[in-house]
Amino acid sequence: MVLLEIKALHKFFGGLTATDNVSFGIREGEIVGLIGPNGAGKTTLFNLISGALNPDKGTIRFKDDVISGLKPYQICRLGIARTFQLVNLFEHMTVFENVFMAAQFGGLRKTGRADAKNQSLSLLEFVDLCGMENVAAGDLTIANQKRLEIARALATGPQLLLLDEVMAGLNPTEVDQAVDLVKKIRDKNITIFMIEHVMKAIMGISDRIIALHFGKKITEGLPQEVAAHKTVLEVYLGLDSDADA
Same domain, 129 and 245: no
Same domain, 72 and 167: yes
Exposure string of 200-223, with b = 16+ CB inside 10 Å and e = fewer, is: ebbbebbebbbbbbebebbbbeeb
State percent of the chain over pLDDT 90.
85
Give the HSE-up count for residue 144: Cα atoms under 13 Å, Cβ half-sphere.
20
Same domain, 69 and 23: yes
Same domain, 163 and 235: yes
Total number of domains in the chain: 2
Q: Which of 109, 136, 156 is the last residue of a domain?
A: 156
Q: Where are the beta strands (DSSP E) in the chain?
A: 2-13, 16-27, 31-35, 57-62, 65-66, 80-82, 160-164, 191-195, 208-213, 216-221
The mean per-residue pLDDT over the stretch 160-186 comes to 96
What was the pLDDT predicted at 234? 85
The domain that holds 18 is classified in CATH as 3.40.50.300
Same domain, 7 and 49: yes
What was the pLDDT predicted at 240? 57
Digit-coded pLDDT (tens) for 61-119 = 999 899 998 999 999 999 999 999 999 999 999 999 999 999 998 876 677 889 999 99
Q: Which of 116, 139, 156 is the last residue of a domain?
A: 156
Domain that holds residue 28: 1-79+158-245
- Higher per-residue pLDDT: 194 or 230: 194
Confidence label for 237 from pLDDT (cuts 50, 70 and 90)? low
The mean per-residue pLDDT over the stretch 216-223 comes to 96
Digit-coded pLDDT (tens) for 118-160 = 999 999 999 999 999 999 999 999 999 999 999 999 999 999 9
Does 242 score more than 60 pLDDT? no
Which residues touch 12 (CB under 8 Å, ≥6 apart)? 18, 56
Same domain, 224 and 240: yes
